[in-house]
Amino acid sequence: MKKNDGADQGFGQDGPFVRAGAAIGAGYYAGSGMACGMLAVALLAGAAAGVWDTGMAFCLSFILAGVACGVLQQLWFNWERAFGIAYGRRVAGFGLTYFPVLVLCALLGNWLPADVPAAWALFVALYLLILFVLTFVITKLLRRRGVEYQRDLAAYRERQAKGE
């Protein structure tokens, strides 16, 4: 069996972990998924038995928000088809597709008082502000990094042309 050098910390690796930290991280990741799954089953069983309260709705809404976040992250940042999209646009795309999920989860879990429009307006404003700032900052940082890479590549090519 091929040993994993630790570079692949996620699912789909083709061998055992070399480092204990990588194995623990993968175990935490897998265990978290199992815990969420078991809790969701227990919550749905309670709902089917007619035992449903606001605490259960709150808990289920967080599970759904977390799972949706993970799925959308994988689609926007790790799916090969998304690689053709500029990273800043992927950040914005993730944020804009995750927003309706969060709104639905907030409604399900009563995160905000339904009868206070100002609370919802603040939620929307803060979310969109944070999304804008993150998208802007990440785009600027990546552009700066791209300029640095181009400069370093030009210097390397110049050294190669001189025979160094």
Segments making up each domain of the chain, as ranges: 1-52, 53-162
- Measured CA to CA, the distance from residue 40 to residue 27 in angstroms comes to 20
Contact 93, 48 (CB under 8 A): no
Q: Is the dihedral of CA 8, 11, 13, 15 positive or negative?
A: positive
Confidence of residue 106 (pLDDT cuts 50, 70, 90): very high
Each residue of 49-105: pLDDT tens digit? 999 999 999 999 999 999 999 999 999 988 888 888 888 888 899 999 999 999 999
Measured distance CA(141)–CA(86) in Å, rounded: 13
- 110 dihedral zone (left: phi>0; alpha: psi -120 to 50; beta): left
Mean pLDDT of the 126-144 span: 89
Give the CB-side neighbour count of residue 137, counting CA atoms within 13 A: 6
Cα(39)–Cα(59) distance, rounded to whole angstroms? 9
Contacts of 29 (CB under 8 A, 6+ apart): 10
User: pTM of the predicted model, to two decimals?
Assistant: 0.71
